[in-house]
Amino acid sequence: MSSPAVVTRPETRVPVVATTGVLVVGGGPAGVAAAVSAARNGAPTLLVERYPYLGGLASGGMVLVLDDMHNDLEISVRGLAMELIDRMHARGLCVYPPEADRAPSVRATEALWRRWSRWGVFDFHVHSKPHPIVFAAAFDPDGFKQASLDMVREAGVTLRLHSWFQSTIVEDGRAAGVIVETKEGAQAIRADVVIDATGDLDVAASAGAPFVDGAYIVTTVSRIGGVDTETAERFQFEEPERFAEIDRQARGFIRGCWQYWWLKTPLPGVVWCNCPHMSGFDGMKVADLTAAEFEGRRRMQALLEFAREKVPGVERASFVDFAPQTGVRQTRLLEGEYVVSKRDVRDRVHFHDSVCRGRDYYTPYRALLPLEVDQVLVAGRHYSSTPSAQKMSREIPPCMAMGEAAGIAAAQALDGGVLVRDVDVRGIQKQMRAQGADPGDRPADNALVTEAA
C-alpha cells in the first residue's frame, strides 16, 4: 500500500504566550544589536532564538574575526559592535591590534605582518603585500555568547531561546507577530513591530515580502587544539619555500579557503579553521546542509592527518570542536524599497537615508524595508541587495550596525505612533550618533555622494 504524497493537518489553535512592542526574530549579531537597541530606546522588546545561545554565526558558526569595520585608520562601525568587542576584550577573550600597529598600506611592514597576520586582522582588499594591519577583532565564541547574554539581560530584553520560527502572523497587511515551534508545541507571540534578523529572511518571506534567491559557498568551521603556534609561525617565516610547498599540498585537501587556513584565537594553542569553502550546497535545503557536514568533516579530517605529519607545531594537534551551525553566507535576499547594487558598494555610494556603515560603504534605511507588508524591518545578511552586492557587504559588524539602526527605528515608530516605513530617518541618524554609532549620514572623503533614489 503506497503512502499519500501529503499529510493533511487539522487547523489548530495556537496559544499566545507573549505580547510585546518590538519582537526580534533571530539572536545572531544583528538580532542581538536590534533587541538591545530597541530596549535601550524604551520599547518593550522580546527576542526569540532557535538555539540555546546567542551570537548566531559569530558564536555558533564560529566566524571568529570581526572585520569590515574600518576605512583606512577610521573605525567605521562603532556603537553596539564596539561595546561587545570591549566586553570580550575585558575578559581576555578578544584580541585586536593597538592603534600604533594599524597603518595604511603605505606603511605596512613585514614586522607588522609577522606580528598580526595570523590573527586575521589585515585588509585583504588591498592587493599589495604585506597587507596593512587594520582594526579587526579575533575573539572566542563563548566570549561572544556571554557578552550577548549580558547585554540583552542588562537592557531588559525578554529572551526566549529554544524557539524555532514557523510563520508570520499578518493582519490587514501588517505583521502582527509570529508563531514559533517549541518543545511545548506551537506558540504565538504578538507584536507591534517585528524585526527579521533570521539571516534567511524567514519572517519577511513568510509575510509575503518579495525576495530573490541567492547562493554562495558554505563552510563547516572547526577549531584545532594542541597547536604550538610559535613553532608553526616560525616555520612559515623562516623556511618560506618549504612552507609554501606544504601549504600548497594542504590546500589540496581543503579545496577552498582564504589566504590562511588557520588563524590564532585568544585561547593558547587553539586555532580557528574557517574552511573548507564548499560550493553547490543550498543553505535552505535539509539534504544539502546534511551533506555539507559530511563533506566538510571529511576534508578537515584528511587535512589534520596531513598537517600532523608535515607542519611543525601541529604534530600533537586534535580537533576541539566543529561549529554547531553550518557557515551559510547567502540564501534569500529581500527586494525592498531600495536594492543595494554591487556598484553602490564598490563605488562607496552615499545615500541621504544612510543609517549605518560598513568598511567603506553605506546602507540606506530603504534597504531594511520590505515591500507589500508593513511593520517589518530586516537586519542582517539578508537585507535588500543584489547577490553580488551582498557578497561584499555581509560581514558581522556591519550587520550589527544594521540591527542597531533597526532597533532605534522600531522604538521610534512605536513612540511616534507611525509605521516603520514612515519613521523620520534623521531621527534614526541622530540617535545612532547618540549611542556612539556611525549612521553614515556624513560621507567620508572617498564616498560618491548621490541621492541614489
Looking at residue 190, its pLDDT comes to 98
Looking at residue 453, its pLDDT comes to 43
**Per-chain mean pLDDT for the chain:** 95
C-alpha grid cell for residue 268?
593558547
Separation of CA 317 from chain center: 29
**CA neighbours within 13 Å on the CB side: how many for 261?**
27
As a whole number, mean pLDDT of residues 64-73 equals: 92
Domain boundary among 306, 328, 350: 328
Looking at residue 452, its pLDDT comes to 46
Domain boundary among 260, 294, 328: 328
**Torsion sign (Cα): 378, 384, 387, 389:** negative
Q: With contact defined as beta carbons under 8 Å apart, do 256 and 137 qualify?
A: no
**CA neighbours within 13 Å on the CB side: how many for 113?**
16
160 and 198 inside one domain: yes
Q: With contact defined as beta carbons under 8 Å apart, do 355 and 404 qualify?
A: no
As a whole number, mean pLDDT of residues 149-156 equals: 98
As a whole number, mean pLDDT of residues 348-366 equals: 96
**CA neighbours within 13 Å on the CB side: how many for 359?**
21
pLDDT tens per residue, range 398-425: 999 999 999 999 999 999 999 999 999 9
Looking at residue 451, its pLDDT comes to 57
Domain boundary among 305, 328, 351: 328
Looking at residue 104, its pLDDT comes to 64
152 and 208 inside one domain: yes
Domain range for residue 363?
A: 16-63+145-214+331-449
pTM score > 0.75 for this model?
yes
Rounded to whole angstroms, the Cα distance separating 233 from 217 reads 28
Angle at 56 between CA 225 and CA 168, to 5 degrees: 155
As a whole number, mean pLDDT of residues 328-343 equals: 98
pLDDT tens per residue, range 261-301: 999 999 999 999 999 999 999 999 999 999 999 999 999 99
User: Does 438 reside within a domain?
Assistant: yes
Give the model's confidence band at 450: pLDDT under 50 very low, under 70 low, under 90 confident, else very high: confident
As a whole number, mean pLDDT of residues 427-437 equals: 98
Rounded to whole angstroms, the Cα distance separating 21 from 291 reads 40
- Nearest Cα residue to 233 out of 140, 120, 117: 117
Alpha helices by DSSP H, 169-285: 202-206, 229-238, 240-254
As a whole number, mean pLDDT of residues 322-335 equals: 98
CATH number, domain of 180, equals 3.50.50.60
Domain count, the chain: 2
Angle at 149 between CA 148 and CA 155, to 5 degrees: 90
Which residue type sits at 425?
V
Range with lowest mean pLDDT among 124-133, 321-330, 345-354, 416-425: 124-133
